[in-house]
Amino acid sequence: MSPLPFDSLPPHKPRRFVPQQIDLGDWTKIAPLFDKLEARPPQCATPAELESWLLDWSEVSAALDEESAKRYIAMTCRTEDSEAEKAYLHFVEQIEPQAKPRQFKLAQIHVAHPLGPQLPKERYEVFERDTKLHVELFRTENVPLETAEAKLSQRYQKLSGSLTVQFRGEEKTLVQMGRYLEEPDRALRQEAWELVANRRLREAEQFEDIFDELVRLRQEIARNAGFDNYRDYAFRKLGRFDYSPADCVRFHEAVEAEIVPVIRDLQAERGRLLGLQTLRPWDLAVDPLSRPPLRPFEQVDQMVSRTQRIFEHLDRDLAEGFERMQQLRLLDLANRKGKAPGGYQSTLAEARLPFIFMNAVGLQRDVETILHEAGHAFHALATSEEDLYAYRSPPIEFCEVASMTMELLGNEFLEEFYSAPEANRARRTHLEGILNVFAWIATVDAFQHWIYTHPGHSRADRTGAWVELTERFGGAVDWSGYDAARAKLWHRQLHIFIHAFYYIEYGIAQLGALQVWANAKRNKANALSSYKRALELGGSRPLPQLFAAAGCRFDFSRPTIAPLVEMVRRELTTLAP
Ligand SMILES: [Zn+2]
C-alpha cells in the first residue's frame, strides 16, 4: 500500500474476531468472516451472546471502513500515484459491492432474531430502529433502478465538471471563475459572471433531461417501496424519525419571515457602501469597501499553531485533541501539486482517530475550514470509547452542529490571525454568509418538496415554481435581462441532482450551532461541557436528545429562529463592514 501521511496506527482495542493479519483487499479472506457471522445467531441463547455477536459484526464493519478510508486518503494525498488510485478503485469495485449484500443479510438476521426485544431497550433503541428501517425499505426490484440513478448522477457530475470558459485568453473551470466575483473592478466581475451563466445555459437542456429521468426513476423507487410520493419515501430512507415534511415547511416559513428581511437590509447597506442604486448578481461576493482579501497566514505551520492557540483559549480537552492529531500526523493541510482538491475529515474506524485533509493556501476560507473540520475531528475523538460501530457515526444533522459550533466559537479568537479590525471583517463575512445560506437552503429544500409532490409536472411548471421561490427567499437583487439564468440557477446545486432531499440538514445543524454559541455568550464553560457531553453520545440517541445534551432545542420554527437571528443581527451591528 502507498505510504500514508501518518504511521500505521493500531486498533483502539485489540481485535478479537477479525484476524490480526488479514488482507482486507482480498474478498476470499473477508467472506469467511461473514460466513461465521451468519452462522452464529441461531446459537445465541442469551441477550449477552447476541450483544457479543453485534460487537464482532461491528469489528468487521470498522476494519472494512478503515481499509476504505486509508486507501481513499492515500489516493487523495498522491493523485499522481497510480498504484494508490488502483488500490482504492479495487476496494470500491471489488470489495464493497460484495460486502454490501452480506451486511444487509446480517441486518435481516438481527431484525428477525427472537432475542432482539430482550436487549437493553435504551441502549439499543436507535440501532434497532435504524436496522429495521434498512431491512424494511429494501426492494429487490429497486436495485437496478438505484444503479440507473447512480449512473445519471455520474452523468450530472461529469457534465458539471467538464464545463470551462475562455477568460482573457485562458481556459478556466467554473470553480476557478468564482474568485473573479471578488474583484473590485465591477466590469470584470460582470464579464466573469456572464461567461459562467451563459456557459451553464448552453447545457440547460441536458441538465433538464438528466433531471426528468431522475425524477421518473425516484417516483418508481418510491412506489415500489409502497409510498405514493418520493418525498415521503426519502424522509424514511434518510432516517428522519424525528422531523416531518411539515417541520421543514415551518423552517421555510421561519426563514422567509425572520431571515430574508435581514438579508435585504444587509444588501441595502452593501449597495450604499459600493455606491450602487441596485445590486446585480455579480455584486454579492466583493468586499463592500474594495479591500484586498485577508491574509491570515503565510505558512501552514502558522495556521496550525494559531488554530492550536484558539483551542487553548476555548477548552483544555479540545486543545489536547488537536495537539494529539499533530503528534500522530493526522493532518495533511498544505496545498501542493499532486493533491486532490477540497477538504474533508475522515475517521479511521478501528484506530478510532480522525484525519483532516485540506488544501490551505493562506485565505480566510482556510481558517474557517480548519475550525470546521476540527469540530468533526473532536466528534470522532469523543466517541472513541463507544464499541458499537454504528454509534460512532452520529446523524449528519448533529455532526454539523459539532463542526459549525467550532467555527462560531473559534471566531471569537481570530485575533490570533489578525489585527482587531481584520478579525471583525472576517467575523462579519462569516455571519453574513450564515444568513445567506439559510435562505439558499430554504429555496433548495422547498423546491424539492414541490418537485416530488407534483408528479407529471412540465418543465415550464418547474421553472415557474423555482422562480417563485427565488422571489420568496431571494434578496433585493436586480436580475433584469438575466431571467433565463435565474430560472436555471438550480442546475448548479449538486444535491438536487445526486442527493435528493439531503440539504436541509445544514440548516438544522446551524440552528444548533447558533444555540450553543448563544449559550457560550452566557457561560462559556457550561456551553462547552454540554457540547463535549453531546459529542460523546455519538449516534446512540435520537436527534432531539443529542440537541438537548448540547443545550439546544431541536425545533426549526419561528420561536426558535427569531432570537438567534436577532443575536446575529445585533452582533453584526457591532462589527463595522
Ligand atoms: Zn462538515
Q: Ligand 1 centroid to 248 CA: how many Å?
A: 21
With cell 473532536, the residue in question is 378
Residue type, 198: N
Q: Ligand 1 centroid to 137 CA: how many Å?
A: 27
- Residues near ion ligand 1 (CB < 5 Å) are 403
Q: Ligand 1 centroid to 154 CA: how many Å?
A: 23
pLDDT of residue 1: 62
Q: Ligand 1 centroid to 384 CA: how many Å?
A: 19
Q: Ligand 1 centroid to 367 CA: how many Å?
A: 14
Q: Ligand 1 centroid to 403 CA: how many Å?
A: 6
Residues 6+ apart with CB under 8 A from 58: 387, 388, 389, 390
Q: Ligand 1 centroid to 378 CA: how many Å?
A: 12
Number of neighbours of residue 460 by Cβ within 10 angstroms: 9
- How high is the mean pLDDT in each 10-residue block of the chain (577 residues)? 85 96 97 98 96 98 97 92 93 91 96 96 96 94 90 89 92 88 94 96 97 97 97 97 98 98 96 96 95 94 98 98 98 91 93 96 95 98 98 97 98 98 96 97 98 96 97 94 96 93 97 98 97 98 98 96 98 91
Q: Ligand 1 centroid to 396 CA: how many Å?
A: 8
Q: Ligand 1 centroid to 416 CA: how many Å?
A: 23
Stated length of the chain: 577
pTM for this one?
A: 0.95
Nearest C-alpha neighbor of 497 from the set 230, 152, 258, 58 = 152
Q: Ligand 1 centroid to 408 CA: how many Å?
A: 13
Q: Ligand 1 centroid to 29 CA: how many Å?
A: 35
Round to whole Å and give the CA distance between 89 and 92. Answer: 5
Q: Ligand 1 centroid to 513 CA: how many Å?
A: 12
Q: Ligand 1 centroid to 44 CA: how many Å?
A: 40
Q: Ligand 1 centroid to 191 CA: how many Å?
A: 33
Q: Ligand 1 centroid to 344 CA: how many Å?
A: 8
pLDDT of residue 342: 86
What ranges in 389-458 are assigned the alpha helix state H? 396-410, 420-452
Q: Ligand 1 centroid to 161 CA: how many Å?
A: 22
Number of neighbours of residue 138 by Cβ within 10 angstroms: 13
Q: Is 240 helix (H, G, I), strand (E, B) or coil?
A: coil
Q: Ligand 1 centroid to 102 CA: how many Å?
A: 30
The β-bridge relationship of strands 353-360 and 344-348 is antiparallel
Q: Ligand 1 centroid to 109 CA: how many Å?
A: 34
Nearest C-alpha neighbor of 497 from the set 220, 147, 156, 148 = 156
Q: Ligand 1 centroid to 144 CA: how many Å?
A: 31
